[in-house]
């Protein structure tokens, strides 16, 4: 345990003791107004039996505001996190900290003035390190102190703290443990953390790297795809983990990055490495990239049932088709697709320029049904987003949505932003379909979200 006496010096030290069960106090401490507000607020949270989705916003805002003038409030909050015990303002027994009380404290750190919260974390961490050094210069940090510093650092959500979190993580972090929770929270708070993680994960060892993968998977942000590709290229051991995270996250909004990752995953479809092969196959299915169709169909003929099942799932996910587990129907389908592009696509592209709007709409409907060559088809459709006929623009938006074409996002946003008719609604619906962002048809919200996702 961190020596609370160094943080407090006075009577509160006796009240908090060492956090081992009910604490015994020799004399009633004198709490500051801020400290008392923290104690009473935490105990009220427990008394009201709140759930994690019912955190008291007013209490959190009040405590975060008080911390600016009374930073010792945050020092006490750190001790509560470390000892997992909430002291009493009246001298009664300490209260074992609940998950909701912990969540309230972390929200206070996240909401407090950044410089004040960071200073409190740094004071605490300096004491943890000093205590460890005094006991044994070669000894690791106290586990409770490291856990507390990790959780608070995660709540602060600063990209520059990613390497610090890795250094604080135990050698075996454990799934769902403090390190994963802290890193996940930071990744969700600031997307720059993904870039910082790319430069920091190699220094932590395989167990910590595996937990980093779990954290980016839990964050569920496609900006992690570059990190996951890095991991697969650097670590053969962690390739299945990273590929599984790609499957969970899906593709991003950067078409070039998606393609780069997909091509690398195709290279991993080696049946002699069944664990990696299956994970890569399912990741390809989640990305929906066409480069994997032929090699995935080949996997349907493998003896290993796990490979066959993984390939079938991927093909169905990527194409939207419900064909069976035999490779032959899939090969026929793929051959038909290729024949269609060679024999019929040209006529439909010409029809997109027909004078009759109904003919243009008809061509759009047929083109949208294709599951291969989608990027080339979408490029032919994009000019129709400025067609003079509302029905044609509407049909073009719906076709791009069905083709699931990432590179159409910018043009669809412009259409949504500029039109208030049926076509504008269709553009908004296409944006939701392609990006997975469930936002209303508000140009400001979409502009911010797309700029962030493209960062």
Distance in angstroms (rounded) separating the CA atoms of residues 29 and 363: 80
DSSP state of 421: S
Cβ–Cβ < 8 Å for 194, 215: no
Q: Residue holding tokens 């998606």?
A: 258
pLDDT at 455: 55
**Closest C-alpha to 242, from 252, 228, 230:** 228
Domains of the chain, earliest start first: 4-116 (no CATH), 344-453 (1.25.10.10)
Q: What is the pLDDT of residues 109-145, one digit of tens each?
A: 999 999 999 999 999 999 999 988 888 777 788 899 9
In order of 195, 212, 256, 261, 309, the CA distances from 455 in angstroms are 10, 20, 14, 17, 36
pLDDT at 29: 73
Burial of 212 (0-12, 13-18, 19+ CB in 10 A): buried
- What are the tokens at 262? 């997909």
Strands, DSSP E only, in 95-206? 95-96
Angle between helices 409-418 and 422-435 (to 10 degrees): 150
**What is the enclosing helix (H) or strand (E) of 85?**
strand 85-86
Give the chain's residues under pLDDT 70: 1-28, 454-455
> DSSP assignment of 378-398, as one string?
HHHHGGGGG-S-HHHHHHHHH
pLDDT at 28: 64
pLDDT at 23: 44
Which residues does residue 86 pair with via DSSP β-bridges, in sequence order?
95
């Amino acid at each position: 345990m961190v020596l609370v006496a160094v943080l407090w010096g006075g009577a509160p030290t006796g009240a908090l003791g060492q956090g081992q069960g009910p604490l015994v106090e020799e004399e009633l401490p004198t709490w500051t107004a801020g400290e008392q507000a923290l104690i009473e607020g935490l105990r009220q949270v427990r008394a009201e039996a709140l759930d994690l989705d019912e955190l008291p916003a007013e209490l959190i805002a009040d405590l975060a505001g008080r911390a600016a003038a009374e930073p010792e409030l945050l020092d006490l909050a750190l001790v509560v996190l470390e000892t997992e015990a909430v002291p009493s303002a009246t001298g009664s027994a300490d209260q074992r900290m609940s998950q909701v009380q912990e969540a309230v404290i972390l929200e206070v750190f996240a909401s407090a003035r950044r410089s004040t919260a960071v200073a409190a974390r740094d004071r605490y961490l300096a004491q943890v390190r000093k205590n460890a050094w005094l006991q044994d210069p070669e000894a690791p940090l106290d586990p409770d102190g490291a856990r507390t510093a990790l959780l608070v650092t995660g709540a602060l959500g600063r990209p520059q703290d990613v390497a610090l979190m890795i250094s604080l993580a135990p050698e075996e972090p454990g799934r769902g443990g403090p390190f994963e929770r802290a890193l996940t929270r930071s990744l969700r708070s600031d997307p720059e953390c993904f870039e910082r993680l790319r430069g920091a994960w190699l220094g932590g060892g395989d167990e910590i790297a595996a937990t980093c993968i779990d954290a980016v998977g839990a964050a569920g942000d496609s900006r992690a795809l570059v990190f996951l590709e890095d991991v697969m290229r650097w670590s053969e051991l962690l390739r299945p983990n990273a590929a599984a995270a790609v499957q969970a996250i899906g593709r991003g909004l950067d078409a070039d990055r998606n393609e780069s990752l997909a091509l690398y995953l195709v290279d991993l479809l080696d049946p002699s490495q069944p664990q990696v092969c299956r994970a890569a196959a399912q990741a390809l299915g989640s990305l929906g990239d066409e480069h994997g169709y032929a090699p995935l169909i080949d996997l349907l003929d493998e003896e290993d049932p796990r490979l066959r099942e993984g390939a079938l799932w991927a093909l169905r996910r990527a194409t939207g088709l419900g064909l069976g587990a035999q490779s032959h129907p899939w090969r026929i389908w793929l051959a038909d697709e290729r024949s269609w592009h060679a024999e019929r696509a040209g006529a439909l592209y010409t029809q997109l320029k027909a004078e009759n709007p109904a003919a243009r709409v008809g061509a759009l409907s047929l083109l949208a049904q294709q599951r291969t060559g989608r990027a080339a088809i979408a490029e032919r459709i994009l000019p129709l987003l400025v067609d003079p006929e509302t029905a044609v623009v509407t049909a073009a938006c719906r076709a791009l949505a069905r083709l699931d074409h990432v590179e159409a996002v910018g043009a669809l946003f412009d259409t949504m932003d500029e039109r208030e008719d049926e076509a504008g609604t269709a553009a908004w619906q296409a944006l939701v379909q392609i990006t997975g962002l469930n936002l209303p048809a508000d140009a400001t919200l979409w502009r911010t979200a797309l700029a962030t996702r493209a960062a």
